[in-house]
Homo-oligomer: A and B are copies of this chain.
Amino acid sequence: MPYRAPVRDIRFILDHVVGFAQVSATPRFAEATPDMAEAILTEAGRIATGILAPLNRAGDQHPARLENGAVVSSPGFAEGYRAIATGGWVGMAASPDHGGMGLPISLALGVDDMMSGACLALQLKPLLSKGQIEALEHHASDDMKALYLPKLTSGEWSGTMNLTEPQAGSDVGALRSKAEPLGDGTYAVTGQKIYITWGDSDLVSNVCHLVLARLPDGAEGTKGISLFMVPKFIPDAAGQPGQRNSLRVVSLEHKLGIHGSPTCVMQFEGAKGWLVGAPHKGMAAMFTMMNNARLSVAAQGVGVAEAALQHALAYAGDRHQGATPLSPDGAIIDHADVRRMLALMRAEVFAARSIALSCAVAIDMATATGSADWQARAALLTPIAKAHGTDIGCEVAHLGVQIHGGMGFVEETGAAQFSRDARITPIYEGTNGIQAMDLVARKMADGGEAAFRLIDEVQRDAEAARPALPDLAGDVWQAAKALREATEGLLAQPLNDRFAGAVPYLRGFARILGGHAHLKAAVADPTREPLARVMIRRIMPEHLALFAQGREGAAGLYALTHEDFAA
């Protein structure tokens, strides 16, 4: 069965789980009516299903390649990209001032989910442009906006993010790239950057690199870093691609997955660049871009999980292996253990999708209302959505392979590709360890206020659900109580103890949010109760062990000598 975009699920979550109606009710997003949302998601789903999904295998089997220093895309990617660009999907959340549609992130995230489920390797290309558009909207001068934003928004040009260097990964502050002022307001940017997604492309007429580099008077560490726009072709007076800039693709990485997405080593050799934002304030500008990119990566995890689930579901409905409890010649979906796996997968996808969309609603509400509470909610949920959504992407794809049995290990079926593709998502845009540290440190710098407010909400919703679903509501209420205690315990810990328990704490937090989302779904639509029961009764109890691990702190880990790690 080919991929079918989950329009129905996304709409249901928006309407009944994450409160998208609040977004439509704001003046800022008044145009995003339920009808508009339906039209947008249906059309994006049509492109994902009909145009992008058929490219997914080709991208894997015929990776992007480097020819004479230029990237040649996988077969069919040009048509796929054109459908995305001409449909206006790159600029759907971008400001209408420069050609965007100004739609809520909640809808854009649903589109990310569907397009990444259809073809992750290609979806990465517009994703990077969207991040760049956002960074420029917030930090670029009016001239730069006028020059770049319309072309990025239309998809005629595309954008990249250049952060990582061989010695500077999670520790961005260790970067060595330099920018020398040329005296005319421009800069000569020099350095090597790695892991540059879609660092070159034959699908657009210009590739715009946002590059982190240090000015001569920049301090060491992250405080001395500035952000530069360094286009592949320097725009001429008419704003068209002109002279070739001094930058090149050195090589492409040979990767486990997303073969259709060229991952470039970039060399900048005195390339002409323009400062974006204030000198030495590059990290702040980059963070604007990264925060929403992190949420988009959550949608990638969910999207690939959805695709892997659909693939496994089709196989399990077709494959017959002996009598099942339901019939003498039924399909393997009716064997208890296969059902268990599929039920876990569906419950996980629904939960992770709900968490990501609730983060998107918080962003939209913060944008629309300026409310600090919504801002804090969005900030709190971003690392949870990213880390949990991408972990689930890997886990669901893993189960998808397992359901295929031997066929899952054979590349021809495509089950393994989802597993390989998903594997990057817990790593890029800040590893999931970094996300968890962000959660327990920066996002708890408010004394846990945003977290406790969310826990209050979960418990209020559980109270409200109690008459209809007493046992499930009771379980969610109790789990929220455990989350409250775990959060209080965390706040009492020194920072490195928090870090030692950050990953299990984050996952436990996500377990309760998943139970909460399923409970709301079952209240809104009683036919969803069986799935909610799978989440709340079979998956959510995991929080007990996770919070136990979280409580352990760091001392036990540092009691191990380096020798203790060796066999």
Contacts and interface: CB of A to CB of B under 8 A. Distances in A.
Given A9-B567, A256-B411, A406-B428, A554 B336 contact: yes
B548 A170 contact: no
Contacts of A263: 410
Contact of A337 (B309, B424, B500, B541): B500
A16 interface: no
Contacts of A253: 409-410, 412
Given A336-B500, A337-B437, A405 B420 contact: no
A564 B530 contact: yes
Contact of A306 (B337, B528, B558, B567): B567
A450 interface: no
A50 to B, nearest CB: 17
A349 B567 CA distance: 9
Interface in A539-553: 539, 541-545, 548-549, 552
B503 A340 contact: yes
A564 B344 CA distance: 12
Given A419-B423, A531-B564, A254 B499 contact: no
Contacts of A411: 254-256
A8 B563 CA distance: 12
Interface string A327-343: 00000010111111111
B343 A255 contact: no
A432 B402 contact: yes
A545 B558 CA distance: 27
B548 A545 contact: no
Interface string A402-435: 1001101111100010011001101110011100
A557 interface: yes
Contact of A560 (B9, B419, B531, B554): B531
Given A164-B406, A409-B256, A552-B538, A560 B339 contact: yes
Contacts of A499: 335-337
Nearest to A321: B171
Contact of A544 (B168, B496, B545): B545
A562 B326 CA distance: 13
Given A255-B410, A306-B567, A502-B337, A322 B433 contact: no
Size bracket, chain A contacts: 35 or more
A322 B170 contact: yes
Given A254-B411, A567-B8, A433 B346 contact: no
A258 to B, nearest CB: 9
Nearest to A549: B538
A421 to B, nearest CB: 10
Interface in A457-504: 496-497, 499-500, 502-503
A256 B416 contact: yes
A176 B428 CA distance: 48
Contacts of A171: 320-322
A168 B534 CA distance: 31
A27 to B, nearest CB: 32
A247 interface: no
A48 interface: no
A121 interface: no
Contacts of A542: 542, 545
Nearest to A353: B567
Nearest to A117: B567
Contact of A534 (B336, B350, B556): B556
Nearest to A319: B169
Contacts of A436: 337
Given A336-B557, A432-B402, A321 B538 contact: no
B544 A556 contact: no
Given A9-B567, A313-B565, A538-B556, 7 more contacts: A170-B321, A339-B554, A343-B565, A350-B567, A401-B423, A402-B433, A538-B548
25 contacts: A9-B567, A167-B320, A169-B321, A174-B321, A256-B416, A263-B410, A306-B567, A313-B565, A325-B496, A335-B433, A337-B502, A337-B503, A339-B500, A339-B554, A340-B503, A342-B565, A343-B556, A343-B557, A343-B565, A349-B567, A394-B398, A402-B427, A405-B431, A530-B556, A538-B556
Interface of A: 4, 6, 8-9, 164, 167-171, 173-174, 194-195, 253-257, 263, 306, 309-310, 313, 317, 320-322, 325-326, 333, 335-343, 346, 349-350, 394, 398, 401-402, 405-406, 408-412, 416, 419-420, 423-424, 426-428, 431-433, 436-437, 496-497, 499-500, 502-503, 527-528, 530-531, 533-534, 537-539, 541-545, 548-549, 552, 554, 556-560, 562, 564-567
Which 4 A/B pairs are nearest by Cβ-Cβ distance? A6-B567, A9-B567, A171-B322, A171-B321
